[in-house]
Structure 1
C-alpha cells in the first residue's frame, strides 16, 4: 500500500470517494497548432489522440499522448472516452487566428511567475539531448550548464519549458 510522504498540509488518508479520480490532462495554449504538433509528435514522440473543433467559439482542442498502446479505439466516440479516462494527456488549445497575429503566451517562467514546465523522462538523457541538438531544438538549460548536470530544459515553439530527465540518474537528488 502506498504511504504518502509526510509534510505539513498533506492529508494522509484522502476521502475514499477520490479513489476513482484520475489526473487526466494539462492544457497549454498554442499559437500555431501545426508547429506545436510537429514539435510534440516529431521531437518528443507523442501521438495525436483526438482533435475537437468548436466553430461557434473559434477554437480547437488537440489531445496528445505518449503511448506505445496499439489498442487505441478507432471509433470516434470510444476514442474520446479513452482520451478523457487515461492519465498523462497533454491538451493544446488553439484560438483560431492566433497563428497569424502577434499573440504571445506566457510560459510562466518570467514575472509574474506561475506555471513552470512539463517533464519527459528519457532512457538516455545524453543521447536524447544530442538528438535535440541535431534537430535544432532550443535549450533553456543544457546538461553541462548550471549545478544540476543530469537535467536539461528545452523549449517548445511557444516558449514553454520542458524538463528532460533520466530517472535512474535522479535517485539522490535533493538529499
Structure 2
C-alpha cells in the first residue's frame, strides 16, 4: 500500500490552484468537471500520481463555505532552506502565519503557511536528524 492523495474541499478552485501551483510550485496534474454531480476535481503535486502522493482539490459548485473543524492538522513539506523558502513564498503571495524558527519543545526549524481556505501547510527544514523528527512527532501529539 501507499498513500495516493489527500482530498481538500475548496471554496474557490482557481484561488486554490493558484496557491498550490503558483505559490508552492506544484503542477496541475489533471482536472475534470462532473456536471451531473456539480463538482470539479483538480489534482496537484510535485510528481506524477504514479510515483508520489498528491493533493485532490474538490470544488463543489453550489458550496461556498466549509467549517474546517479541529481534527485535521496540516500538510507538511520538507524544504532545504526554510528562511529563503518563506521569503520566496511570501513574494509569490503566500501567507506565512508562523515565521521560521525552532519548534516549541524541540530543535527542528519549522514554519506554517495558510492556503486560501485556511488549511495549514507546515514547512520543515530537511536537515532534521531522526531523533529530531521523533521530537516533532511527540510535540505534534501533545501540542497540536
What CA distance in whole angstroms lies between the structure 2 residues aligned with 1:171 and 1:133? 29
Could you say if the C-alpha distance between residues 117 and 170 of structure 1 is closer, same or farther in structure 2, counting changes exceeding 3 Å? farther
Pick from 78, 81, 89 the counterpart of residue 54 of structure 2. 89
Pick from 108, 111, 114 the counterpart of residue 155 of structure 1. 114
Partner residue in 2 for 1:129: 86
Pick from 121, 125, 142 the counterpart of residue 166 of structure 1. 125
Q: Deviations over 1:135-156 (max 9, x none)?
A: 3422221114863661001000
The answer to whether the 8 Å contact 1:120/1:162 transfers is: yes
Q: TM-score, normalised by structure 2?
A: 0.80
**Pairing 1:1-175 to 2, within 5 Å after superposition:** 21-67=1-47, 83=49, 85-98=50-63, 103-108=64-69, 113-144=70-101, 147=104, 150-173=109-132, 174=135
Partner residue in 1 for 2:141: none
Name the structure where strand makes up a greater proportion of residues.
2
What CA distance in whole angstroms lies between the structure 2 residues aligned with 1:117 and 1:64? 16
Larger Rg: 1
SS of structure 1 residue aligned to 2:86: helix
The answer to whether the 8 Å contact 2:102/2:110 transfers is: no
Runs (5+) with no aligned partner, structure 1 = 1-20, 73-82
Q: CA deviation at 1:59?
A: 0.2
Could you say if the C-alpha distance between residues 126 and 134 of structure 1 is closer, same or farther in structure 2, counting changes exceeding 3 Å? same
Q: Deviations over 1:69-91 (max 9, x none)?
A: xxx6xxxxxxxxxx4x4431110
What CA distance in whole angstroms lies between the structure 2 residues aligned with 1:49 and 1:132? 21
